[in-house]
A and B are shown apart, each in its own frame.
Chain A
């Protein structure tokens, strides 16, 4: 393991890998800082380009974007009270009030430093847990895998947007859309409706580019307010940005606690950094000696949000690399990048491509360091980019989406697929059907089917292992809890609101 870490580190420190890591982080910070654009959108756009690149360079580029985008969101959250990315929403609660009180540099400095802390903290977990977890995962039976994927579907459907039924529908549609084509088990065409183009299934790249680049842009155009930004903090964005040693000491416990929350939530399959920042914020408030300051420019609030959302990135990479289950929405795109390069994600990744995986893990650490340096030294300019005209950005993204979808196989079929999924993404987004379960199911659905069918072949058609193996029972039990729990909660809430309205009438 140590040898692989050293050789992976050496690969990550080559000129090319460093260049792509820097480029990705730089682009990620800028994209994250601009409200309406997201890291997922940029990764979806860049995926076709990675096809021409060395796998490690491609992966370090993507991880750089991922880290940069999660961190860059804090700039507009702090200076404009508009979260650049959904994961920095919680940062607006205290980042903006502190910035508005004449301390924008201090607010940004706290957020950027906490982001670095969270990123490095989660890297320590990533490098120490991922390989042992992958070794353990090689013992998984096909039924174990099937149950684990089922649990991932339930988790992401129940927690992604708060509407369980819509989350499940979204996951089921994503799963269903992954099925057309020649079934690899039986060599039969299914759900092709007579279209020859569908024999090889829906092309992955145009699907992702359509859903997450075109669809998001159209949705942003539909929902962006005309009245402009809600606020603008005054003062220098660089004054007080560097924290003193006493500040680091004072916020150490909060940093560690929030990073732990981020890693723990990030590890859960399919759940991203937005939930972790909420959880860490609530926890920081409950442990704080000054809870009344939360929401009014509390430094602890900014640190909790930023440390946890960056830590969740590293946490989410753990199941992605060790088991092949995406830890977050963006990790789905990372898995797609693996597949584009014919690298099968899963427990054997550490056995078959150890140097590349450790190169990627070291690249994650490097991206965090780059993120810190880029944000600290370019904040003066980054703070201005958030006002870049949306009209140019959105039109440009549509052009690049079109070229990106076409790039993979130079076929017009890919363009139509991109267009259809762009509009489907718009409709789902406007009707509040979460896109994360859709994307996760599109990638993991066929794997779930294949594992269940392999399991049944191995047991001569017996389902007994599903209810006799304790691991399966545990996973299915958890899946049932995540299925029933939110429904019970919703029924209770409805009863309460009904009771309240009855009381009002009386």
Chain B
């Protein structure tokens, strides 16, 4: 049950850099004499607020990294769930599968039913720790589910998903 000072530090730093970009982009907005605040006021103000608030987060985590506390820390952050190696691997795998699945649909690479069946098969297997003996029921289940979903969303709800009949 530990905080993640390194990643918090990286995130606060990334946030500050992103706000610099926002400030530059907000600077391009023209001001109007009839508008007291102008369109750029809130973007600028919020970017500055985020930078100001990120500084203590950055400093606190930098101190934690340079001088790790001897005793376990108290406070709300102590409730941060621990990440096990297997969970990290599962999350990364599912993240990549999700990107591939969403990308496949967005770029219309394959029919929705095929992408869904593939995603479900690999997703369920990955979350089960690649227990391959379960593939006997996972593959047929995923194919049936994929076809049913494609029929429902493209024929009943008339959504413009990449459909099977277009490809074959």
Contact = CB atoms under 8 A, between A and B. Distances in A.
A453 B36 contact: yes
B94 A226 contact: no
A226 B53 contact: no
Interface string B116-158: 1001100110011000000000000000000001000100010
B148 to A, nearest CB: 11
Nearest to A186: B39
B39 A176 contact: no
Interface string A195-234: 0000000000000000000100010011111100000000
A392 B124 contact: yes
A407 B74 contact: no
Interface residues of A, number: 65
Contact of A169 (B57, B74, B107): B57
Contacts of B22: 176, 191
A410 B43 CA distance: 30
B165 interface: no
Contacts of B82: 223
Contact of A172 (B46, B91, B119): B46
B91 A431 contact: no
Contacts of B37: 452-453, 456
A427 B15 CA distance: 12
Contacts of A394: 94, 123, 127
Nearest to A166: B57
B43 A191 contact: yes
Contacts of B90: 221-222
B105 interface: yes
A221 B120 contact: no
B157 A407 contact: yes
A415 B109 CA distance: 14
Nearest to A457: B36
Interface stretch (A280-288, A315-323, A417-425): A417-425
Contact of A176 (B4, B50, B88): B50
B166 interface: no
A423 B80 contact: no
A471 interface: no
B71 interface: yes
B42 to A, nearest CB: 5
Contacts, number: 168
B56 A165 contact: yes
Contacts of A427: 11
* Central interface residue in B26, B53, B86, by most chain A CB within 10 Å: B53
Given A419-B98, A419-B99, A395 B124 contact: yes
A273 B79 CA distance: 19
B49 interface: yes
B38 interface: yes
Nearest to A194: B25
A497 interface: yes
A79 to B, nearest CB: 22
A325 interface: no
Contacts of B157: 52, 407
Nearest to B146: A399
A165 B35 contact: no
B98 A165 contact: no
* Central interface residue in B74, B80, B94, by most chain A CB within 10 Å: B94
Given A419-B99, A493-B75, A226 B11 contact: no
Interface in A418-443: 418-419, 422-423, 426-427, 430-432
B102 interface: yes
A185 interface: yes
B83 interface: yes
Nearest to A463: B36
* Central interface residue in B42, B53, B70, B82, by most chain A CB within 10 Å: B42
7 contacts: A190-B29, A190-B39, A221-B91, A221-B127, A407-B159, A415-B106, A419-B102
Given A163-B76, A188-B30, A402-B105, 13 more contacts: A222-B91, A394-B123, A398-B101, A399-B101, A403-B161, A406-B161, A412-B105, A412-B107, A430-B80, A432-B79, A461-B36, A493-B75, A501-B70
Report, nearest first, the 7 A-B pairs whose CB atoms are least far apart: A162-B76, A391-B127, A412-B106, A395-B123, A223-B81, A183-B39, A410-B160
Interface of B: 3-4, 7-8, 11, 15, 22, 25-26, 29-30, 32, 35-40, 42-43, 46-47, 49-50, 53-54, 56-57, 70-71, 74-77, 79-84, 86-88, 90-91, 94-95, 98-99, 101-102, 105-107, 116, 119-120, 123-124, 127-128, 149, 153, 157, 159-161
